[in-house]
Structure 1
Amino acid sequence: MKNEKAVVVFSGGQDSTTCLFWALEQFSEVLAVTFDYGQRHAQEIDHAKRIAEKLGVSLQVLDMGLINQLSANALTRDSIKVEEQQDGPPSTFVPGRNLLFLSFAAIYADAFGARHLVTGVSETDFSGYPDCRDTFIRSLNVSLNLSMDKQFVIHTPLMWLDKAGVWALSDELGAFDFVQDETLTCYHGIPASGCGTCPSCVLRNEGLQTYLSQKAGANS
């Protein structure tokens, strides 16, 4: 794969930044694409731009405001509380988001002669999001290839990793400190370790502590 191009679906968060470092090791040329869909933590786009610039990666920001017009959820509405739901995915689920993001990433990739798409979805820590499951990614990969008569390959380096595993991968890639200090995962738009209380921060920070404990145990 070293002589091929890839497009990373990129948000500037822990997962997509780890995937960006992974892609930079796997492919000869890496492009990144991020989406402005009216997300409540708009700082996400600024973080994505800064990280891409620091890593020397070309970043394209696509306007996906239509999502905000169609869907009411906690990621696009400040009036909706970030919370888990008793029945169904959490309030932060944006219906169709990964379907649209990967579809437009494929169109973007095709324009640059890239056939590899990289996304940070995970079925292990997927928070109940149906569009983070392996079966969805496989289905979409087939649909994209049929619809565009191409041979895209969607890569999901984090699919079977929990958050401790994601931290471990970033460490293996020599990106641990960068991911810890430079990324934005918090639902409230606070970088690095974030607010510490939203579901995204809890997942990130618990994973970090688990990985550090595992690493300390392995080195003792």
Structure 2
Amino acid sequence: MLQQEKAVVVFSGGQDSTTCLFWALQQFSEVEAVTFQYGQRHAQELDCAADIAKELGIKHHILDMGLLNQLAPNALTRSSIDIEAKEGELPSTFVDGRNLLFLSFAAVLAKGIGAKHIVTGVCETDFSGYPDCRDVFIKSLNVTLNLAMDYPFVIDTPLMWLDKAETWKLADELGAFDYIREKTLTCYNGIIADGCGECPACHLRRRGLEQYLERREA
């Protein structure tokens, strides 16, 4: 039974956020999505998110976060920076402050439209070392947002303790396995579905898919 509450999903059009979108549609009576334009090198992400939202009949907001590009140069916003992950260092794809800012602006939007829930696909199990994907950060920010706006926000993280294979399993349970496999964009090089097969995001996605298919077929 649907909760009679409204939710905003932080939505990139990727595997994780699309799984969260389908999850939210089963959990809440009304769902809207918000996507952020921050000068990401594959602008196809914005088109993919818009296409999915349109297909699913979801109201879709796109917010300009161009200042983040200016302040935090990284491999996702600069073609001159290689996508790499050196031992003991944060991957070059880490964007300082991204989830802090995205969730903060999503909260402003949520309050404005009367939504109490903010849904995000952050995950501490397969998180590439990103500090702003940790559960402790989300819980801390949740308290801060509630205090800052005197509003009862709940940041929902349905993928927090799932690995990629378990995320594929959840998509399957939601009846969205084929949709997410064929129509989402996870690839850092901007290729929909199975992606380029070479970048770290594709490796993580494919490994999880293979693990889940092995379990499903066993």
TM range (shorter): over 0.9
TM-score, structure 1 length as denominator?
0.98
Q: Deviations over 1:128-149 (max 9, x none)?
A: 1000000000000000000000
* Residue 33 of structure 1: aligned partner: 34
- d(CA) in 1 for partners of 2:150 and 2:194? 43
- In the alignment, the residues of structure 2 paired with residue 25 and residue 85 of structure 1 have an alpha-carbon distance, to the nearest angstrom, of 39
What is the match of residue 72 of structure 1?
73
Q: How much has 1:72 moved relative to structure 2?
A: 1.2
CA–CA distance in 2 between the matches of 1:43 and 1:84? 23
The amino acid of 1:34's aligned partner reads T
Distance 2:118 2:92 in 1: 27
Corresponding residue of 1:55: 56
CA deviation digits over 1:69-96, x for unaligned, max 9?
1111000000000010223210000000
- Hey, what's the Cα distance between the residues in 2 that align with 1:167 and 1:137? 23
Letter in 1 for 2:206: N
- Corresponding residue for residue 115 of structure 2: 114
* Structure 2 letter corresponding to 1:48: A
Counterpart of 1:144 in structure 2 is 145
Aligned residue for 1:124, secondary structure, equals coil
CA root-mean-square deviation: 0.6
Matched AA of 2:166: G
* Aligned twin of 2:209: 208
Q: Does 1:190 pair with 2:191?
A: yes
- Give the residue type in structure 2 aligned to 1:23: A
Shift of 1:57: 0.3
TM-score, length-normalised on structure 2? 0.99
1:44 and 2:45 correspond: yes
How far 1:2 sits from its partner (Å)?
1.5
- Write the distance in 1 (CA, Å) between the matches of 2:107 and 2:89: 29
Q: Which residue of 2 aligns with 1:9?
A: 10
Helix, strand or coil for the counterpart of 2:25? helix
The amino acid across from 1:111 in the alignment is: G
Partner Cα separation in structure 1 for residue 212 and residue 191 of structure 2? 22
In the alignment, is residue 129 of structure 1 matched against residue 92 of structure 2? Answer: no
Q: In the alignment, what sits opposite 1:158?
A: 159
Q: Which residue of 1 aligns with 2:170?
A: 169
Query: In structure 2, what is the Cα distance between the partners aligned to 1:155 and 1:200?
Result: 23
Structure 1 runs (4+) greater than 2 angstroms displaced = 85-88
What is the percentage of aligned positions where both structures have the same residue? 68
Other-structure match for 2:25: 24
Query: Which amino acid in structure 2 is aligned with residue 62 of structure 1?
Result: L
SS at match of 1:4: strand
Q: Secondary structure at the match of 2:73?
A: coil
